[in-house]
Amino acid sequence: MRSRAPLLAGLLLILTFGLPVTASASSPPFVFPAGCCYLDGAVVRTVVPPAATPDAGRDNFYAIMGGVAGQKGVVAVGPGSSGYHGGDWKFFAVTWNVTPYLLTSESAVLAAAAVGAVTVSRVPENDFLCPIQR
């Protein structure tokens, strides 16, 4: 099962970030022009390609599986936040138990989990490093 971790991580990143991305002349091909994820209701972006760091994540990253149009991953912290570790993401898969709706913050993910709308599962083999910008 461990040998499949990189493949699964890549697939989840594709599902989460909507890869591949078409590059524009003004940005490198690994920049997500529409943003990579939500942080406290705002879209943030990354400017470096993600790198796998199995079992080493420190900051919460929620990959929303099967969400609504416009759904992106959700991160708990970012630059300027207390405890931000430079994008050292602790991977959680979020699956829906009800009709999906937009989740744009960690508090929204945790509230949805508290009422049973989603199931949040820790997937340590999918931890990754990828700094973000506000």
Q: Which amino acid would we find at residue 15?
A: L
Q: How far apart are CA 121 and CA 60, in angstroms?
A: 12
Q: Could you list the pLDDT tens digit for every one of the 134 residues in the chain? A: 444 344 334 434 433 444 333 333 444 445 566 788 999 999 999 878 889 999 999 999 999 999 999 999 999 999 988 889 999 999 999 999 999 999 999 999 999 999 999 999 999 999 999 999 88
Task: Provide the residue ranges of all domains of the chain, joining segments of one domain with +.
Answer: 2-133
The SS3 assignment for 8 reads helix
Contacts made by residues 24-27, CB under 8 angstroms, sequence distance 24+: none
